[in-house]
Structure 1
Amino acid sequence: MTTHRSRTLLLILCAATVASAFTATNTGAASAQAGDGRSPAPALDWQPCARPDLGGPAHQECATLPVPLDYSDPAGPRLSLAVSRVRSERPAERRGVLMVLPGGPGGSGVQRLTQKGPALQKSVGGVYDLVSFDPRGTGGSTRAACELPADDRHLTTLRSWPAPTGGIDANIDRSRRTAELCARNGGPALRSFTSLNEVRDMELLRRALGETKLSAWGTSYGAYIAASYAQKFPHRTDRWVIDSVADPNPERLAQGWLRNTSQAVDDRFPDFASWASDPDRATDGEGPRLAETPARVRQLFLDLAARLDGSPRASTTPGVPLTGNRLRQALHTALYSDGNFPALAKLIDDARSTDPSVRPTLPPDVAGPLPDADAAVTIAVICNDVRWPRGRGAVDSYRRAVRSDRLAHPLTAGFPANITPCSFWKWDPAEKPTRITDRGPANILMIQNRRDPSTPYFGALKMREVLGERARLVSVDGGGHGVYLGTGNTCANRTVTDYLLTGVRPRRDTDC
């Protein structure tokens, strides 16, 4: 549920304060059984994130949180997490900590706080301490590497896009190779990258902050983490916002999330097609008008992707041509926000140009490989969380699923149903995923776009169903991924802000 993100200056600053690998040194309170809820919590040594020589957000503080590599061995080796905070601007009216949880797996909480902190602090009037952390494996926290070759770290290979013919032999080989390299090179740290450990790390951070309860705003994968925390530590939750959440089925998790992408993209694409066929495109300068009707935009895209399958077009990135799958992946990423539509339209327009000197400019997420550590955590979490189908029979079932999915959903060409390294993973899950239920306080506010290309509305309804009276759902008649402070929907922003400030949710599920 995430794409490649560029590194920010703040990540560099925070990384400078964090050990890059776990250590077996046990010191002070941090050496106690950190996960048992009874021993002293580790202390946080807050330092300014800004540095005179580099610069950085002067209002933001950074610290390091030591966490157990393995919570069943709390006195054993430890990892380090990068933590960041924006203090309340109104200490006399401070009402606690609002935890900001990023998407992923693989998203940086420190970066998310840097991006969203100013708008969030303004929205809630500065009455919260805003806190976030880089989950293990990301940003300035302890990292791990699988040592994957660069060709295997492109988003179009990590996401198992089938060959132009629909064949998946290359995906099978790459998935097997990736699983073997991660097992050989990832070490104990990679094995510890799980959703449940992120939840436990969040609880340890709560204790280190000295807070009785937390409020939270989790988006995308962060919304799943927030829901899991609310299930495991319900008495530690105050005002809880889960934004753009996926189906929580504990038997499938990421496999289900991937499978749902086919329909999610189909549901979202008409927004882009309507925009790209609007007559105003011819004069407003926001992007080329691609066709006269939405239906023609869709056919144009499908025809162009098929043509690029057979004859990739040279791009402005040396050695990385625009292929059909890179175009399809660029589409999926662009559908996350209406603000991406002009760049996508230009990419399509350049790719169909009859002028051979025109070279399309690839968006960053498809222009090159991810760093190895970023690829490693993205793979490891989804494979460590739950057991995926394995063996020869599973491989055959993926072939059938891809054939069927390509026919039903040509925009995504079978990738959501395709095989991943998880089918060759060398470790079984250490524990069962959290089963989210309706048992717990009624303090959860869900907010969801009806046309989300990554965490579709029909998946969010599954979360709404299992939470029962614990939750209220705000359904937004819009498209894109991420609602609060992301789409400009005044009704949605006001509803979430009012809840964070007053603790009062809508009396029933509502629409915006």
Structure 2
Amino acid sequence: MRRSCMAALAVAAMATVVVPGVSAANTPDPLRWGACPEDTAAPGLECSTVRVPLSYQDPDGKQIDIAISRMASKNPAQRHGVLLTNPGGPGGAGLQFPTQLLDAGLPQTVQDTYDVIGIDPRGVGHSTPVTCDMTPEQMSRGNIPPYARSSADVVKRGEEAKLVAEQCASSESAWMLPHLSTANAARDMDRIREALGEEKISYHGASYGTHLGAVYSTLFPERTDRISLDSSVPPGGLDSEGGRLIGRGVQDRFPDFAKYAAAHPEHGLGSTPEEITAKYFELAERLDEKPQQGLDGALFRLVTFGHLYRDAQLPMLAELWKAIESNQPQPDPEVPPFQSDNSFASHLYTICNDADWSRSVPSYQADVEVDRIRYPMFGAATANIRPCAFWPSAPVEPPVQVGDRGPSNVLMVQNLRDPATPLAGAEKLRDALGRRARIVTADQGGHGAYLYGANQCANDTVTTFLTTGQRPAQDRACAAESA
């Protein structure tokens, strides 16, 4: 399918608590910019490496590499500073993100205002990488557990998740297990700031990148300039609560697809949104009982979720449903999983270290039962058990409590109907940031509001903030706009 850990080794948790926001004792070496790795090279993009401590409790100890890229401002007279970026994940490589933003239509005024900085976070891509020795089959269904129809399905998934945790614990990068976390990624960002010679940084993060931005803004509030958060997760990031909210996101977003499919009778799926919704459950149950061309009910639900990310994917989803309905050859479905062992492993290392996950299988069985009713389309998947329940190391520090201490310089932008980071989670982050933040909501669906959405009101509000620092005096609601 295409596409956007105990074992013998047990890693003990460190007892010392990291002092939040404390910089390392040594200063980063001066940056040497040069050509980017071949798989990330792009016109105007240059790359470098920053050395950072593996453990910020031992800043003079073992060091690891953080790969960064730069799309430099071509208008020095207008340059305001640096804009660090993160595309999401965790596990998403970011060296190419400046180029991807340009391809998505990043306004020239923003390009002139900043050196746009991409980062492969610790453990990811061209930074010192981690692995869990994942097989193609283990990666084929992505980072969301399969839909559980029963408590027995949770037990079965638990066995699979435990094996993944054991693989992570016995991998060649297991020495990094306790040290990949959002807090440490934020501290790495501050080391990047130092290496760049900047007193403050601006930031644009999407999806999970909003959690990284919120944590940085909490640990280093006085070193923040303009913080832009697009499609936000809750204050706790992608812990159990944040993951389960994806079930809510599918419920929020699916009516957009139902409306599209009902308005296009050529797909033959139904003539009303209610009929399309009923068809979803009909097809899922049919495939639960009898998979078709390698597609079972759990994968059907996952593929449907993945196609809800962009309006442009809705016709493809309808064609897939049509092929299933008529038992015809299916178009190759786009699953929203990870494309490599490294991206999957770094995702797990981070989310499992960011929170203290339940280790009780019955607790996940109870969550699945609740969310099967609360979010019937996808909740029994997003509440299902993950490898974090069997993780071989406990968090080395408590989660960072995102709060409102610091300058009022955060702008959040959010679609009303986001399948992956629903408005309900973004509103919790907005509450946690308090006076520091404003939120702009766009009456549109899909994952990603700025540039990836068509709402000009929302796009213009973010561009104005990034180029001038000016935000709305109050939270803003942008009405729906015709295509």
Matched AA of 2:210: A
Matched AA of 1:387: D
Equivalent position of 1:49 in the other structure: 36
Q: 1:417 to 1:105 in 2, by over 3 A?
A: same
Match of 1:259 among 241, 244, 258: 244
Matched AA of 2:472: P
Query: RMSD of aligned C-alpha atoms?
Result: 2.2
Is 1:503 aligned to residue 472 of structure 2? no
Is 1:241 aligned to residue 228 of structure 2? yes
Unaligned 5+ runs, structure 1: 7-33, 283-287, 315-320
Superposed CA deviations along residues 263-284 of structure 1, whole A, max 9, x for unmatched, are 21101100111011114x64xx
State the distance in 2 between where 1:98 and 1:413 align.
36
Q: 1:162 to 1:503 in 2, by over 3 A?
A: closer
- Secondary structure at 2:177 match in 1: helix
Match of 2:436 among 467, 470, 475: 470
Q: 1:458 to 1:4 in 2, by over 3 A?
A: farther
- Secondary structure at 1:129 match in 2: strand
State the distance in 1 between where 2:40 and 2:191 align.
30
Equivalent position of 1:362 in the other structure: 333
Equivalent position of 2:400 in the other structure: 434
State the distance in 2 between where 1:55 and 1:193 align.
23
- Secondary structure at 2:464 match in 1: helix
Match of 1:71 among 45, 50, 56: 56
Q: CA deviation at 1:354?
A: 3.9
Superposed CA deviations along residues 162-208 of structure 1, whole A, max 9, x for unmatched, are 45556212111112212222112242223321101100110000000
State the distance in 1 between where 2:369 and 2:355 align.
25
Q: TM-score, normalised by structure 2?
A: 0.90
State the distance in 1 between where 2:217 and 2:268 align.
46
Is 1:181 aligned to residue 167 of structure 2? yes
- Secondary structure at 1:109 match in 2: coil
State the distance in 1 between where 2:427 and 2:114 align.
30
Within a 5 Å distance, the mapping from 1:396-415 to structure 2 comes to: 396-412=362-378, 414-415=380-381
Q: CA deviation at 1:151?
A: 2.7
Is 1:300 aligned to residue 300 of structure 2? no
State the distance in 1 between where 2:422 and 2:288 align.
28
CA contact under 8 A between 1:313 and 1:323: conserved in structure 2? yes
State the distance in 2 between where 1:341 and 1:349 align.
12
Unaligned 5+ runs, structure 2: 5-20, 479-483
State the distance in 1 between where 2:448 and 2:3 align.
16
Q: TM-score, normalised by structure 1?
A: 0.85
CA contact under 8 A between 2:148 and 2:381: conserved in structure 1? no
State the distance in 2 between where 1:171 and 1:128 align.
46
Q: How many residues align?
A: 459
- Secondary structure at 1:248 match in 2: coil
Equivalent position of 1:192 in the other structure: 179
Q: 1:76 to 1:332 in 2, by over 3 A?
A: same
Percentage of identical aligned residues = 39
State the distance in 1 between where 2:307 and 2:349 align.
25
Is 1:333 aligned to residue 306 of structure 2? yes
CA contact under 8 A between 1:155 and 1:370: conserved in structure 2? no
CA contact under 8 A between 1:308 and 1:324: conserved in structure 2? yes
Match of 1:146 among 132, 136, 160: 132
Equivalent position of 1:451 in the other structure: 417
Where has structure 1 moved over 4 Å in runs of 4 or more?
Answer: 3-6, 163-166
CA contact under 8 A between 1:137 and 1:193: conserved in structure 2? yes
Is 1:490 aligned to residue 456 of structure 2? yes
CA contact under 8 A between 1:143 and 1:189: conserved in structure 2? no
Q: 1:305 to 1:35 in 2, by over 3 A?
A: same
Superposed CA deviations along residues 453-498 of structure 1, whole A, max 9, x for unmatched, are 1111111111111111111111111111111111021000100111
- Secondary structure at 1:85 match in 2: strand
CA contact under 8 A between 1:330 and 1:363: conserved in structure 2? yes
Q: Which stretch shows the higher mean deviation, 398-407 or 334-343?
A: 398-407
CA contact under 8 A between 2:226 and 2:465: conserved in structure 1? yes
State the distance in 2 between where 1:55 and 1:261 align.
30
Q: 1:306 to 1:165 in 2, by over 3 A?
A: farther
Matched AA of 2:88: G
Q: 1:134 to 1:37 in 2, by over 3 A?
A: same
Equivalent position of 2:345 in the other structure: 376
Q: 1:128 to 1:4 in 2, by over 3 A?
A: farther
State the distance in 2 between where 1:216 and 1:483 align.
16
Superposed CA deviations along residues 108-161 of structure 1, whole A, max 9, x for unmatched, are 1112222113532525252211111101122211111122343322225x4221
State the distance in 2 between where 1:216 and 1:153 align.
31
CA contact under 8 A between 1:48 and 1:58: conserved in structure 2? no
State the distance in 2 between where 1:485 and 1:249 align.
26
Equivalent position of 1:10 in the other structure: none
CA contact under 8 A between 1:49 and 1:58: conserved in structure 2? no
